[in-house]
Structure 1
Amino acid sequence: MDTLIDILHIGTAVFIVGPMAILPMTGLRALRSGSAAQVTTLAKSTMIFSWLSLLTFVFGFGAMSLAPKQYDLSFTTPWILTSVILYVIAFALSAFVVVPQMNKAAEAIEAAGAGADAAGSKPAGYGAIAGTSGIVSLLLVVVVVLMIWKP
């Protein structure tokens, strides 16, 4: 059973958390090209992947609870606690900053209308999306390092 939980934990990390981190960067390209519909779709996808990433979180606790007793793992093990805190921050930034900013930027593009020369320009919120999604990605990289290194 522990092998199955480990596979689910790692699989969801790769196939759910990975897109959660990468999709906003694709959204930045869509913003630069002025494609409001694509930005809206990417914002929805990012929100879905952000919420689905909670599965990785749950499977991680399952893996921790099934780990051999010799490792003496608990929620308060420093690398686990640090990983949890960093993941929660990354989740919150993605769901409550990046996605709303992407939606706001898409609305701004739509409000500008088809006649405006939006291509190549950076709409309002671009910097917030770029900066915050970059922080999310860095936090998730640190979580991966902690999961492998286990200091």
Structure 2
Amino acid sequence: MEPLLSTLHIVSGVFIVGPMAILPMTAMRSMRAGEAGQVASLAKSTNIFTLLSVLVVFFGFGALGFRDNVSFASTWVWLSIVLYAAALAISLFLVIPALKSASELLAEQSASGTRVAGTKVAGYSRVAMGSGIASLLLVAVVVLMVVKPV
């Protein structure tokens, strides 16, 4: 059972956490282009993938339960959980709200014709900073999973 749960943990990490980290960066390009609908769609997708990322943790806990030599007291396990929780919080409470407000602002500017091409929309730096930090935290989790320090 442990190989199955480990495989599900890794596969879901790739196909769920990967988009969670990459989609906000794609949204920044759409923000620069002034594409309100695309930004709104990417905000929704980021939210879905961020919430689905809890499945990765679930599968990881399941795999951990079948291993004799590893416990929650292992440094790499609890530190990975803390770093993931921080990335999750940043994504849910900083990046996604900034994307939603940016899409609304872009829609208003598009409707009123006040959008100046090439200008950054409000919230761009929050998305850039938040998604960058969340991605670095997720990379740190991967490093901990590979290195497994005592």
Short-chain TM bin:
over 0.9
**2:19 counterpart letter in structure 1:** P
Render the CA deviation track for 1:67-102: whole Å, top value 9, x for unaligned. Answer: 1x2x2x111211100000000010111111100000
Matches of 1:119 and 1:63 in 2, distance apart? 50
Please say if residues 2 and 66 of structure 1, whose CA atoms lie closer than 8 Å, have aligned partners that are also in contact. yes
- Report the 3-state secondary structure (helix = DSSP H, G, I; strand = E; otherwise coil) of the residue aligned with 2:121: coil
Superposition CA RMSD, Å: 0.9
CA distance in 2, matches of 1:117, 1:97: 24
Amino acid aligned to 1:136: A
Name the structure 2 match of 1:5: 5
Instruction: Give per-residue Cα distances to partners, 1:12-70, cap 9 Å, x unaligned.
Output: 00000000000000000000000000000000000000000000001111111111x2x
1:104 aligns with 2:133: no
AA matched with 1:77: S
Partner of 2:130: 132
Aligned residue for 1:20?
Answer: 20
CA distance in 2, matches of 1:87, 1:117: 37
Does structure 2 retain, via aligned residues, the 8 Å contact 1:33–1:118? no
> What is the TM-score normalised by the length of structure 2?
0.95
Q: How far apart in 1 are the matches of 2:116 and 2:72?
A: 48
Moved over 4 A (4+): none
Q: Which of residues 75, 82, 86 in structure 2 aligns to 1:85? A: 82
Q: Displacement of 1:120 after TM fit?
A: 1.7
Cα distance in 2 between the residues matched to 1:81 and 1:105 = 35
Q: Structure 1: give runs of 5+ residues left out of the alignment.
A: none
CA-CA distance at 1:117 after TM superposition: 3.5
Separation in structure 1 between the aligned mates of residue 66 and residue 119 of structure 2, nearest angstrom? 51
Scaled by the length of structure 1, the TM-score of the pair is 0.95
- The answer (yes or no) to whether the contact 1:109–1:118 under 8 Å persists in 2 is no
**Aligned twin of 1:41:** 41
Counterpart-to-counterpart distance in 2, 1:113 and 1:143: 40
Q: Which moves more between the two structures, 120-129 or 16-25?
A: 120-129
